[in-house]
Amino acid sequence: MVFVKTHDIDELTTQLIGTQVILGGWVEDFRKLGKMSFITLRDVTGISQVIVKGELNDNLGEINRQSVVSVKGIVQETKARDFAFEVKADEIEVLGKAIHPLPVDPIGRVESNIDTRLNHRALDMRNQKTASIFKLRHYVLQSLRKTLSEKKFIEITTPKIIGSASEGGANLFSLDYFGKTAYLAQSPQLYKEQMTIGLERVFEISNFYRAENSHTGRHLSEFTSIDIEAAFMDYNDVMDVLEFLVMEVYKYTSEKCKKEQEIIGYTIEVPKSPFERITYSQCIKELQKSGEKIEFGDDLLDSHLRVIGDSHPGFFFLIDWPMKLKPFYIREKDEDVTLSRSFDLQFGYLELSSGGTRLHNPEMLKARLKEQNLDPMQFQDHLKTFDWGMPPHSGWGMGLDRLMTTLIGIDNVREVVLYPRDPDRLSP
């Protein structure tokens, strides 16, 4: 038999009763009851019952669960409670046998810990909860691309192998590049800024790399970032874009992904808009009030963010950080040059995004690089573009994996990444 499917399981309808179909999928359950056998067959769209009788049943050997089979048969009504239809098999072919027992139970009846599941990720994807998370991720990406395109952002792809650091020196993976040292990009920062001189509004959704020796539920060595950069926009404008985008993701997936939410066991709650905008100074005062030893100018540690997150659950912006805590490309405020036009988007304690208005004056940018002990010579290729009519611009980067965790109420990014990379995990 050929293994071409005529239908996906979710395409079986009343109109097809009496029609011959060819289905393909995995055996979720196999029961041989003397004169007949029942197969529960799953494909990516759903689950169906296959009934085997007569000579075909007599000649049918044992089929291991999770083997992949092709079934040719006639669609008919069923007495089974859990199914709308069944297929009475005329031919069954095992296309790929599954070993028994499998290293993880794809039905999820026997729970496996996350490390075991990640070690067998392809098989874990047959677990409906895992598959639903990745279907949801697909719709999140769809929504992001749609909204940004509608707002006239052009999707770009910047290089991931680079000759010098994009975010300053720390946390860089280096590699040998034909005898020279190259690095894996930490972000598209410099390239996305450069692209504003020709395309005005750009976005990128790609993987970036951070050699952070962190063992938390929110840090990965390779993460997916959504980045935007926009000419003629201030940090308030790009915060508006970010808020709109997050709201659209929540609205779209809460409507579109009903089945996935049911399987995951979590209801996507569309957040309230507008998101609160709290200044860094207000935040320091709040922390001092709650007894934390912190001064203006100190960075916010995880412990501080947890305190702030407790009193501000959900989405909020933390704005106007001190200049000294922000990267070299961030621009100061006119009314107080110690403060920056910058923000982080928080979800409770979790940082989802950071961004701001950029310096677009080359002399000031050079001075800032020196102030932060970075060598302007290393940034020559970038700096020269600032002499070609660089527009004022702003942007942000947001961790897609972290955004996904907020959507489905989990606290480990590894659950939403196919093959996570962290200091302890380089394979599969």
Task: Give the residues lining the site for ligand AMO (CB under 6 A).
Answer: 167, 187, 189, 210, 212, 219-220, 223, 225, 227, 351-355, 395-399, 401-402
Burial 1-16 (b: 16+ CB within 10 A, else e): eeeebebebeebeeeb
Burial 218-231 (b: 16+ CB within 10 A, else e): bbbbbbbbbbbbbb
Q: Which residue is nearest to ligand AMO (CB)?
A: 399
Helix (H) or strand (E) holding 398: strand 393-399
To ligand AMO, the closest distance from the beta carbon of 186 in angstroms equals 7
Structure tokens at 323: 């200049």
For ligand AMO, the closer of residues 8 and 212 by Cβ is: 212
Q: Extract long-range pairs of 372-379: CB within 8 Å, 24+ residues apart.
A: 372/168, 372/327, 372/328, 374/168, 374/169, 374/328, 378/164, 378/165, 379/164, 379/190
For ligand AMO, the closer of residues 26 and 349 by Cβ is: 349
Using an 8 Å Cβ cutoff, are 405 and 415 in contact?
Answer: yes
For ligand AMO, the closer of residues 48 and 346 by Cβ is: 346
Q: Extract long-range pairs of 145-151: CB within 8 Å, 24+ residues apart.
A: 145/205, 146/248, 147/244, 147/245, 147/248, 147/249, 148/203, 148/228, 148/245, 151/201, 151/241, 151/244
For ligand AMO, the closer of residues 92 and 365 by Cβ is: 365
Number of H helices, E strands in the chain: 12, 16
To ligand AMO, the closest distance from the beta carbon of 394 in angstroms equals 9
CA distance 128 to 259: 11
Angle at 34 between CA 31 and CA 36, to 5 degrees: 65
For ligand AMO, the closer of residues 86 and 415 by Cβ is: 415
Whether cis (ω within 30° of 0) applies to the bond prior to 428 is: yes
To ligand AMO, the closest distance from the beta carbon of 18 in angstroms equals 53
CA distance 221 to 212: 6
For ligand AMO, the closer of residues 132 and 225 by Cβ is: 225
To ligand AMO, the closest distance from the beta carbon of 293 in angstroms equals 25
- The stretches of 26-75 forming alpha helices (DSSP H) are 54-58
For ligand AMO, the closer of residues 49 and 225 by Cβ is: 225
To ligand AMO, the closest distance from the beta carbon of 9 in angstroms equals 36
Residue type, 197: I
To ligand AMO, the closest distance from the beta carbon of 160 in angstroms equals 14
To ligand AMO, the closest distance from the beta carbon of 281 in angstroms equals 20
To ligand AMO, the closest distance from the beta carbon of 249 in angstroms equals 14
Helix (H) or strand (E) holding 76: strand 68-77
To ligand AMO, the closest distance from the beta carbon of 218 in angstroms equals 6
Q: Which of 352, 357, 360, 330 is nearest to 397 (CA)?
A: 352
Contacts of 328 (CB under 8 A, 6+ apart): 168, 359, 365, 368, 369, 371, 372, 374
For ligand AMO, the closer of residues 126 and 402 by Cβ is: 402
For ligand AMO, the closer of residues 294 and 352 by Cβ is: 352
To ligand AMO, the closest distance from the beta carbon of 238 in angstroms equals 9
For ligand AMO, the closer of residues 70 and 206 by Cβ is: 206
For ligand AMO, the closer of residues 5 and 333 by Cβ is: 333
- The stretches of 53-127 forming alpha helices (DSSP H) are 54-58, 114-119, 121-124
Using an 8 Å Cβ cutoff, are 94 and 50 in contact?
Answer: no
To ligand AMO, the closest distance from the beta carbon of 297 in angstroms equals 19
